[in-house]
């Protein structure tokens, strides 16, 4: 498990999933390091589902968004991930941003937006 004041990453082996739970705004290495840790876990355990809990999510900085698209997404596309799940409330301020990402992600992954994991 990876746990900082900004993000918690858990491997849910029984679900063949990785859970990324954002806790508060962060940027730079505090943003990228948890995602890179998750990719390492995905490779180790042949994880097929990426779950992101956006309950305490935030809009990313321009630099982090650029890193996500240019560096992180190519690595994710090469991984064993086949499905992405966003946990997001219907009234979340991030709903439009996540919906926009979902349009692009559906091209490569099965995608779900849910209000709860359970």
CA distance 71 to 83: 19
Residues paired with 21 in a beta bridge: 8, 53
CA distance 35 to 73: 10
Paired sense of beta strands 110-114 and 83-87, if any = parallel
pLDDT reported for residue 21: 95
pTM of the model: 0.90
User: Could you identify the residue written with the tokens 């589902």?
Assistant: 49
* 10-residue stretch averages of pLDDT, the chain, 118 residues long: 96 94 94 96 95 87 89 94 92 82 88 87
pLDDT reported for residue 38: 97
Cβ within 8 Å of residue 73, ≥6 positions away: none
pLDDT reported for residue 51: 96
């Amino acid at each position: 498990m990876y746990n900082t004041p900004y993000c918690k990453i858990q491997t849910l082996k029984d679900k063949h999933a990785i859970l990324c739970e954002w806790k508060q705004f962060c940027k730079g290495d505090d943003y990228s390091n948890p995602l890179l840790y998750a990719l390492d876990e995905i490779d180790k355990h042949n994880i097929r589902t990426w779950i992101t809990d956006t309950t305490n999510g935030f809009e990313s900085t321009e630099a982090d968004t650029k890193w996500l698209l240019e560096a992180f997404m190519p690595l994710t596309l090469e991984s064993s991930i086949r499905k992405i799940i966003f946990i997001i409330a219907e009234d979340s301020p991030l709903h439009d941003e996540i919906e926009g990402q979902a349009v692009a992600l559906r091209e490569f992954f099965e995608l779900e937006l849910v209000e709860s994991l359970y």
